[in-house]
Amino acid sequence: MKLTINSEKMKRIVSLATRLCGSNLTLPILNNILLEIKQNLLLVSSTNLEIGLSLSLPVKSEKEGKITVPGKIFSDFISSLPKGEIKIEEKDLTISVKSKGFQAKILGQNPKEFPILPKVKEKPLTQIESSELFNGLSKVSHIISPSDSRVEISGVFFKTKGDTLTLVGTDSIRLGEKKLSLPQEVEKKEVIIPQKTAVELAYILSNLKGIIRVIIESSQIGFEFIPQNPLDPQISLISRLIDGQYPEYEGIIPQKISTQAIIDKEEFQRKIKIASLFSSRIQDVKLKFEPPKPLLISSASAEVGEVHSKLDGKIEGKSIEIVFNWRYLLDGLGVIDSSEVFLGVNEATSPTILRPVGDKTYLYVLMPKTL
């Protein structure tokens, strides 16, 4: 193989591909990425056997071919090169890389040892703007805590119904739900995507604009990215699905609220962070509602002392004291985009709702702490 490519483009696709490379001692070939030239396209692929990733870019090529190279070493070297063109040539399982002021030879391995990436054969179920899918995944995937005993909640619940895609993540203490609009009604599907797949897909889409096509089969899901900018790579990600039945989570979402507050998000975040400095080892912070008075926020510990603050807002309902893990509160606030948030509580031991004001497509449900 022999090609010439812009260094910035090469850095981008190689850095994405190597995110799936690790330190696999059982199958060392998985620490490599596959480079292939085919019909003036550069294909860069990687896999951890659960996720398969392939990126393609048009290039100036003189000779087709393929080779696998150590992902981390190759990526670190490419990312250190100056801007400009890179010339890459493979000969006798060794890859030669030349750019302005640099020349290196990196030992590769036989591409026949690299696993064949799976392919999805079904037609796309639907498509969605990449920025929308990124937004949805980033709001629910961080909540998940992988569990060997409850594998069904170890991933993102991915549900299509009508013209809506619903994404859900939970660790049994808190839950995030995000609804996304689809361009047209689609067949109803319910699958569970591994957390790592959701995280990797969100990372890939974070700085790209285009369309994502979604293909679902019995045991795997595929995402095909078609870029808005023709200079960006086309991307295919295929992942296994988690086998299991997702819990009927809708039942824990409160349908009625006895006490509610509409408050400034940034001010709430700031006062929770201050309260966390005085929190005990169980990371507790107390909220006291006495409508229509301001919300009282406090925490105390024998080692540090105590702190109290007030937060103005629109407070309605009955008086109640409720205790939360401050980290979980900040996690929920951190993914809310609005300037004001709605906080709805019922009892000291009942689920609480946190959601953006003016946006009914996202909600964060959090269980209080019991002291």
pLDDT band at 307 (very low <50, low <70, confident <90, very high): very high
Structure-block tokens of residue 18: 């190597």
DSSP E strands, 241-333:
259-264, 284-289, 295-301, 305-311, 313-317, 320-325
pLDDT in tens, 180-235: 999 999 999 999 999 999 999 999 999 899 999 999 998 999 999 999 988 899 99
pLDDT band at 371 (very low <50, low <70, confident <90, very high): low
Beta pairing class for 41-47 and 32-38: antiparallel
CA 142 from centroid of its chain's CA atoms: 7
Residue closest to 90 by CA, chosen among 3, 31, 7: 3
Cβ–Cβ contacts within 10 Å for residue 187, how many? 9
CATH of segment(s) 2-113: 3.10.150.10
Question: Over the chain, what is the mean pLDDT?
Answer: 95
Are 356 and 341 within 8 A, CB to CB?
yes
Segment 241-261 shows an average pLDDT of 95
CA 129 from centroid of its chain's CA atoms: 15
- The CATH topology of domain 126-251 is DNA Polymerase III; Chain A, domain 2 (3.10.150)
Q: What pLDDT is recorded for position 149? A: 80
Q: Return d(Cα 209, Cα 203) in angstroms, integer.
A: 13
Beta pairing class for 284-289 and 295-301: antiparallel
pTM, to two decimals: 0.93
The SS3 assignment for 238 reads strand
DSSP E strands, 7-79:
32-38, 41-47, 51-58, 60-63, 65-70
| DSSP states along 74-143 | HHHHHHHSPSSEEEEEEETTEEEEEETTEEEEEE-B-GGGSPPPP---SPP-EEEEHHHHHHHHHHHGGG
Structure-block tokens of residue 184: 């047209």
Q: What pLDDT is recorded for position 332? A: 96
The pLDDT of residue 143 is above 90: yes
Distances 211 to 66, 100, 226 between C-alpha atoms, Å: 29, 35, 5
Structure-block tokens of residue 113: 């040892």
Supply angle C-alpha 155, 159, 164, rounded to 5. Answer: 135
Q: Helices 265-277 & 326-334, crossing angle to 10 degrees?
A: 150
Q: What pLDDT is recorded for position 116? A: 92
Q: Return d(Cα 195, Cα 332) in angstroms, integer.
A: 18
253-366 sits in which CATH class? alpha beta
pLDDT in tens, 76-128: 999 999 999 999 999 999 999 999 989 999 999 999 999 999 888 889 999 99
Are 68 and 31 within 8 A, CB to CB?
no
Q: Return d(Cα 180, Cα 89) in angstroms, integer.
A: 45
Segment 287-306 shows an average pLDDT of 96
For the chain, domain boundaries? 2-113, 126-251, 253-366
The SS3 assignment for 50 reads coil
DSSP at 172: S
Segment 284-294 shows an average pLDDT of 97
* Residues in CB range of 92: below 8 A, 6 or more apart: none
Q: What pLDDT is recorded for position 151? A: 92
The pLDDT of residue 62 is above 80: yes
- Same fold flag, 2-113 and 126-251: yes
**pLDDT above 70: percentage of residues in the chain:** 100
**Which of 40-44, 68-72, 119-123, 329-333 shows the lowest per-residue confidence on average (mean pLDDT)?**
119-123
105 residue type, one letter: K
Structure-block tokens of residue 179: 């609804």
The pLDDT of residue 23 is above 80: no
CA 111 from centroid of its chain's CA atoms: 30
